Amino acid sequence: MSEYIETLDTGQSVGTVQRQVFTFGEAGVGLVLESGRTLAPVSLAYETCGTLNKDGSNAILICHALTGDSHVAGVYREDDPKPGWWEIMIGPGKPIDTNRYFVICSNVIGGCMGSTGPTCANPRTGKPYGAEFPVVTIGDMVRCQRRLVESLGIDRLLAVIGGSVGGMQVLEWSVRYPEKVCAAVPLATTTKHSAQAIAFNEVARQAIMADPKWNGGDYYESGRPEHGLAVARMVGHITYLSDESMRHKFDRRLQDRCELSFDFEADFQVESYLRYQGNKFVDRFDANSFLYLTKAADYFNLENQYGDGSLVAAFSRAQGRFLVVSFTSDWLYPTYQSKTMVKAMKKNGLDVSFCEIEAPWGHDAFLLPNDRLNALIGGFLDRVSAECLSGGDDAV
């Protein structure tokens, strides 16, 4: 997932929002992770917008991508220049209409945006966990989200929606807790990483761990591995774009010069752009969290976890309605992967709609303004609401 997408006109906003924190396991009974280790206490940073109706049936959970956070829509203050990362999609009158739906978005565990992760204090030592933080999975993330949702008085979600690694969480919800999900919208995602996707993540992790300042993950007092993290981000950012988008944005144009420099400065615009993205990322993200989250994405394998190697068997657990969307220029999670999951869903007789959207901008297309995506999600939620809402739109 790229840095927040900048848009000039997002329509009506939800206004100011506030980050909240849900904590469980403070008495020592925390979360037994899929690795077998126990994490306690566990905190989830989350934000909400819209109003929950009387019977809690209009709630939509938004799952963020790899380096996203809970700030999905709105602003923290009236003069805040930077709205939430999906401001174009969520708000009054928008496809995910906060006049009708109660929207929740939480930061995943392992992250560094308010939820329990490597930057948090290890209760055993009082110092940041660092590399002593346990490895977490997409399943662990979803189990924490379920606890949050239930704490808000919600028994069943109207929909779970997310792109990229957020889409993995959507798929996990649909098979782990099928009775808790009326509808699922996985965007630009996959049921398991390809060898190529794992390879890119491993190069990024090695860039961080090769930085001497990483210090085995213990750098919170000595100084961050900024260079390694910046290079890791550069590698990842390339996978979010497409050949066409890079030609359009940069081609072989030079940066602030008319001739080649014949040294190792950034001659080309694309070089300068990647360095900028890497340096900007260092200011807002934690290197250890990047290691843990990429590993969680690599471990995700829906067919092995729930189907003993069969994706059809895995989706036999699902019950809800699905809208699956891919993008033509997404080479990180290409359309054939979406078609594979749709085929497995249909073999189970599930209610599934699929669309491949023509878009030149690569994997990040789900974050960019797109009329077709707006219409698909808005129309799908209209249908789901008519079929699933038991309490109407009457808010408390």
DSSP SS3 for 107:
coil
Catalytic pick among 267, 330, 338, 385:
330
Query: Is residue 364 part of an annotated ligand binding site?
Result: yes
Residue 158 lies in a domain: yes
Residue 3 lies in a domain: no
The pLDDT score that the predictor gives to residue 256 is: 87
CA–CA separation, 35 and 345 (whole Å): 28
The pLDDT confidence band at residue 1, using thresholds 50, 70 and 90, is: low
Residue 48 lies in a domain: yes
DSSP SS3 for 284:
coil
Kindly state the tokens that stand for 65: 């991508």
Average pLDDT score, the chain: 94
Residue 239 lies in a domain: no
- With both helix axes pointing from N to C terminus, report the angle between 165-176 and 287-299 in degrees, rounded to the nearest 10: 50
154-193 pLDDT, tens digit each: 999 999 999 999 999 999 999 999 999 999 999 999 999 9
Per-residue pLDDT at 391 exceeds 70: no
Q: Please name the residue that has the structure tokens 């891919």.
A: 326
Per-residue pLDDT at 389 exceeds 90: no
Catalytic pick among 13, 289, 363, 385:
363
Instruction: Determine whether 164 is an active site residue.
Output: yes
Domain count, the chain: 1
Residue 228 lies in a domain: no
Tell me the sheet residues that pair with 187: 163, 325
Catalytic pick among 2, 43, 70, 164:
164
- With both helix axes pointing from N to C terminus, report the angle between 226-240 and 287-299 in degrees, rounded to the nearest 10: 40
pTM of the predicted model as reported, rounded to 2 decimal places: 0.95
Residue 366 lies in a domain: yes
Query: Is residue 176 part of an annotated ligand binding site?
Result: no
215-257 pLDDT, tens digit each: 999 999 999 999 999 999 999 999 999 999 999 999 999 998 8
Residue 352 lies in a domain: yes
CATH number at residue 27: 3.40.50.1820
Instruction: Determine whether 57 is an active site residue.
Output: no
Instruction: Determine whether 363 is an active site residue.
Output: yes
Residue 36 lies in a domain: yes
CA–CA separation, 127 and 108 (whole Å): 21
Q: Which domain holds residue 370?
A: 20-192+300-388
CA–CA separation, 42 and 52 (whole Å): 25
Cβ-proximal residues to 284 (8 Å cutoff; 6+ apart), any chain: none
